[in-house]
Copies of this chain bind each other. A is one copy, B any other.
Amino acid sequence: MKLLHTADWHIGRQLNSNGISLLDDQTYVLEQIIDLAKKEAVDGVIIAGDLYDRGLPPVEAVSLFNQTLNRLLFEAGIPVYAITGNHDSAKRLEFGQEFFRRQGFHLVSRLADSFQPIELEGLQIFLLPFIDPIDARVYYQDSDLSTMDGVMRRIIADMKEQFNPAKKQILVTHFAVSKGADDSDLRQKMLSETTRMVGGLTTLTSDLFADFAYVALGHIHTRYASPTETVAYSGSPLIFNKDEAKRKDVKGVYLLDISDGAIQKTFHPLKPYKDFYVLEAPYQELLQQVFYDKYPRKKARFAFDILVEERKDLEGINVRFQLEEIYGQEIIDLRIKETKAKPKMKRASFNSSQSQLAEDQLIADFFSEMTGGDQLTAYQKSLVEELLGKGEA
Contact = CB atoms under 8 A, between A and B. Distances in A.
A78 to B, nearest CB: 14
B99 A65 contact: no
A277 to B, nearest CB: 35
Chain A interface main SS type: helix
Interface stretch (A86-94, A234-242, A358-366): A86-94
A103 interface: yes
A66 interface: yes
Which interface class (under 10, 10 to 19, 20 to 34, 35 or more) fits A? 20 to 34
A91 to B, nearest CB: 4
Contact of A62 (B59, B94, B98, B102): B94
B92 A99 contact: no
Contact of A95 (B66, B94, B98): B66
A267 interface: no
A2 B230 CA distance: 56
A319 interface: no
A100 interface: yes
Contacts of A70: 98
Given A102-B103, A103-B102, A103-B103, A59 B89 contact: yes
A292 interface: no
Interface of A: 56, 59, 62-63, 65-66, 69-70, 73-74, 89, 91-92, 94-100, 102-103, 105
